[in-house]
Amino acid sequence: MPDNLAAAAARLAAGELVAFPTETVYGLGADAANPNAVAKIFAAKGRPADHPVIVHIANANALGDWARDIPESARKVATAFWPGPLTIILEKAERVSPSVTGGQDSVGLRCPLHPMAQALLNAFAKTGSGAIAAPSANKFGHVSPTTAQHVRDEFGPDLMILDGGACDVGIESTILDLSRGTPVLLRPGAITREQLAEALGEMPRSRDDEAPRASGTLAAHYAPRTPLELTGEGALELRVRELAAAGKRVAVLARGPGRASAASHWQSAPENSTAYAHDLYAHLRSLDTSGADVILVEAPPPDVAWEAVNDRLTRAAQGSGESDEP
């Protein structure tokens, strides 16, 4: 892929957009040091201007280029989890454009693990800033992409996409706010609350009203265009029959093997939370194009292991059924 990486780095340096894989989801990237390029992300996605994007850097050595007054807690979690699926919120450096931060005094920074993302960052460091601002490569609020084809489905053939295969994690990074002294978990992900506590020496608090805005934390997000409902295991089949009796075509996402049902489409999901998260967005995209009138999702257990999955499904249900208009 050297030629493709060089071409992608050249496009970033020229102020253009490039989609690329990370271990979480595919990102829609632009030069983080170029406000005009970052503005193209917002225009392409239909993203609100006050909703910040995450800056991807190659390693923790670049923290000082984008953040100031870096606390020891940030060094600890970067050492423990970078490269990996963790975003750290810190006070922004003077150079960071408001277009990246949504006008806030904080910035989200992440060092991705995916080898192609790392290779792109290193290639871009030779021709530009070496930092890539990138939210997920999908229309704002829609289901995040975990394959290159998902990105093509969103933006068509004109966008340059580096194809790194299916993402290993499948849901977005954990977001940890360290900009206010006390660690606060803004978005759960593959790096769990307990793992963060072990590295920090204290348990992160839950999101509060004073927390900075961060990617993917709106009440409605990660949503299919087909209305989605969450239902308990015991009520799933009854709800399927109710909707079918009302003339609705029902697509179901449930853990474990398929069962005899009135559903028009039944998707079996893994019973393990890590595997479920890996497959979640691919399943939601498939069900969204199945021709169903309603997607029913069997709610996962309310256990700590399922915190990130439950977070995404709750937001997906809240935002589902809406139009493409931002």
The tens digit of pLDDT for each residue in 139-178 reads 999 999 999 999 999 999 999 999 999 999 999 999 999 9
What was the pLDDT predicted at 323?
Answer: 46
Percent of the chain with pLDDT over 70: 98
Question: Which helix (DSSP H) or strand (DSSP E) does residue 20 occupy?
Answer: strand 18-20
Query: Can you give the pLDDT at residue 160?
Result: 97
Do 186 and 306 fall within a single domain? no
Strand 132-133 versus strand 18-20 pairing type? unpaired
Out of 144-153, 170-179, 248-257, 280-289, pick the least confident. Answer: 248-257
Ramachandran sector of residue 163 (left: φ over 0; alpha: ψ -120 to 50; beta: rest): beta
Q: Considering 153, 172, 206, which residue would you say is the last residue of a domain?
A: 206
Backbone angles phi, psi at 318, to 5 degrees: -65, -40
DSSP H/E element including 31: strand 27-31
Q: Buried b / exposed e across 78-114, counting CB within 10 Å, b at 16+?
A: beebbbbbbbbbbbbeeebbebbbbebebbbbbbbbb
* pLDDT confidence band for 220 (50 / 70 / 90): confident
Where residue 259 sits, what CATH number does that domain have? 3.40.50.11030
Claim to verify: residue 51 and residue 133 sit in the same structural domain: yes
In terms of pLDDT, which residue wins out, 74 or 263? 74
Same domain, 121 and 256: no
- Classify residue 142 by its DSSP letter: B
Which of the 8 DSSP states describes residue 204? P
pLDDT above 90 for 179: yes
Q: What percent of the chain has pLDDT over 90?
A: 90
- Give me the number of domains the chain comprises: 2
**pLDDT tens digits, residue range 70-129?**
999 999 999 999 999 999 999 999 999 999 999 999 999 999 999 999 999 999 999 999
| One domain for residues 91 and 25 | yes
pLDDT confidence of residue 265: 93
For the chain, what percentages of helix, strand and coil (3-state, to nearest 5) are there?
A: 35, 20, 45
How far is the C-alpha of 121 from the C-alpha of 119, rounded, in Å? 6
Report the DSSP beta bridge partners of residue 283. Answer: none
**Residue 288 lies in domain:** 228-319
- Enumerate the β-bridge partners of residue 227: none
| Tokens (6 digits) for 52 | 């910040």
Please give the pLDDT value at position 324.
43
